[in-house]
């Protein structure tokens, strides 16, 4: 698979992608806060801030002494909690590479709303399909999936520099990289026996991102743009 490194595309409308930087910083801050035990035991953080489908649909409850926020709020808090360093790093790398240009195409406020809505949509789809599950869903993958969907709609012809198979440096058109990534998400959601990854949350984020991008992009930014790098 491909690990994106950078795309080299300059921002056109913004001096700095403040929202992307802020989301990166917030995710890292929450991770460090959890890792150092400031929010209690890291082993129970999923129950405190993760999205639990059975709780969302009312068939289970979290002990009020443990729960940090109401059940509905976990649709938001869950996307800032990660299960480990690699989980965090993978999501933040995709946000770092693709987020700044999507933010540039939308504006910082609309991008922030887009990111959060993609994450919530992914969590809701996962919860709807796993209503009896009491396993917490955590991570920014659904929100980041929305960003990836937006990027391929806005910049399909841009060349992205990647590590293929974790060691081979390549420059590949974004369309091919992201289509391969999307196929993996859908294929894993449909056929994978991996029950620890919320594949349907990724799919929900992708669908939401694709639906929201035409609505939230700047009017002067075309879909399927011809910018190249």
Residue 79 lies in a domain: yes
Q: How far is CA 142 from the centre of its chain?
A: 4
> pLDDT tens digits, residue range 33-57?
999 988 777 778 888 899 999 999 9
Q: At what angle do helices 174-191 and 141-154 cross, to 10 degrees?
A: 140
Residue 224 lies in a domain: no
Q: How many residues does the chain have?
A: 229
Instruction: Give the model's pLDDT for residue 9.
Output: 87
Residue 229 lies in a domain: no
Residue 109 is encoded by which pair of tokens?
């406020």
Instruction: Give the model's pLDDT for residue 229.
Output: 43
Residue 153 is encoded by which pair of tokens?
């709609």
Q: What is the pTM of this model?
A: 0.92
Residues 118 and 201 sit within 8 Å (Cβ to Cβ)? no
Domain total in the chain: 1
Instruction: Give the model's pLDDT for residue 49.
Output: 92
**Residue-number span of the structural domain to which 17 is assigned:** 2-216
Q: For the domain that residue 86 is a member of, what is the CATH number? A: 1.20.1540.10
Instruction: Give the model's pLDDT for residue 228.
Output: 43
Residue 149 lies in a domain: yes
Instruction: Give the model's pLDDT for residue 60.
Output: 86
Residue 123 lies in a domain: yes
Residues of the chain with pLDDT under 70: 1, 226-229
Instruction: Give the model's pLDDT for residue 193.
Output: 76
């Amino acid at each position: 698979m491909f690990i994106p490194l950078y795309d080299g595309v300059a921002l056109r409308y913004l001096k700095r992608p403040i929202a992307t930087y802020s989301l990166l910083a917030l995710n890292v801050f929450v991770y460090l806060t959890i890792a150092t035990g400031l929010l209690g035991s890291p082993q129970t953080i999923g129950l405190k801030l993760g999205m639990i489908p059975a709780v969302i649909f009312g068939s289970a409850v979290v002990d009020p002494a443990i729960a940090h926020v109401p059940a509905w709020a976990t649709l938001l808090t869950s996307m800032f909690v990660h299960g480990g360093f690699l989980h965090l790093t993978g999501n933040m790398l995709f946000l770092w590479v693709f987020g700044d240009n999507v933010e540039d195409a939308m504006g910082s406020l609309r991008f922030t709303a887009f990111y959060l809505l993609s994450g919530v949509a992914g969590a809701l789809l996962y919860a709807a399909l796993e209503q009896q599950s009491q396993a917490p869903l955590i991570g920014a993958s659904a929100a980041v999936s929305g960003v990836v969907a937006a990027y391929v709609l806005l910049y399909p012809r841009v060349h992205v520099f990647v590590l293929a198979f974790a060691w081979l440096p390549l420059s590949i058109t974004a369309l091919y990289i992201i289509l391969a990534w999307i196929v993996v998400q859908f294929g894993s959601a449909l056929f994978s026996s991996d029950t620890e990854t919320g594949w349907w949350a990724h799919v929900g984020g992708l669908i939401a991102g694709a639906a929201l991008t035409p609505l939230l992009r700047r009017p002067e930014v075309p879909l399927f743009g011809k910018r190249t790098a």
